[in-house]
Amino acid sequence: MAVENLVDSFYQLLVSSTELEFKKVRHLQKCEPPTSEKTLDDVTSTDDRRTVKAVVDFTEDSEIEFEFVLDPTDEQHLLIQSAYEDNTELNWQYKLVKATGLSRQFKGMVSKLTPNTDDNKKKVRMTGTITITSDPTKILTE
């Protein structure tokens, strides 16, 4: 089996208060990719012999979890903290470094942001949740 065309899963999370200038969230430890799931309606008739489902033009909000090592002077870390405290929406990009066609852009609110100090041998980590408030779209310009 050939493995030379397989793609590494390196990724970045970028954030912006506008839709123009995105900057990488530094010291990112982990972040889930945005999910894409269609809403289905069961339209099975009383005489159907199997379940029939139809796609509905409706999107459920989804959430992604992320974690970064806190730098209290970092511009992006301050932006995330401020957006959480002010309940404001930010523009996000989730970029797969080698599989750019899978990268997505979306709007979202930081609905959870908590310091994690479980291990006193580590720097402070911030764990958070982004509630996605728009349809994730492909990033057209790289």
Q: Are 91 and 105 spatial neighbours (Cβ–Cβ below 8 Å)?
A: yes
**pTM (predicted TM-score):** 0.83
Domain containing 88 equals 11-138
Q: Structural domain tally of the chain?
A: 1
Model confidence at 92: pLDDT above 60: yes
Q: Maximum Cα–Cα distance for the chain, whole Å? A: 65
Cα–Cα–Cα angle for 16, 18, 24, rounded to 5 degrees: 15
- State how far the Cα of 67 lies from the Cα of 26, in Å rounded to an integer: 10
Beta carbons within 8 Å of 3's beta carbon, 6+ residues apart? none
Whose structure tokens read 């401020």?
82
- First vs last C-alpha separation in the chain: 31
Q: Mean pLDDT of all residues in the chain?
A: 90
Summarize pLDDT for 41-57 with one digit per residue, the tens: 999 999 999 999 999 88
CATH of the domain at 101: 4.10.410.40
Segment among 40-49, 85-94, 102-111, 133-142 with least mean pLDDT: 133-142
What integer pLDDT is reported at residue 85 of this predicted model?
A: 97
- Residue 4 belongs to a domain: no
| Residue 1 located in a structural domain | no
Per the domain annotation, does 3 fall within a domain? Answer: no
In a domain, 98, yes or no: yes
DSSP line for 66-78: EEEE--TT-HHHH
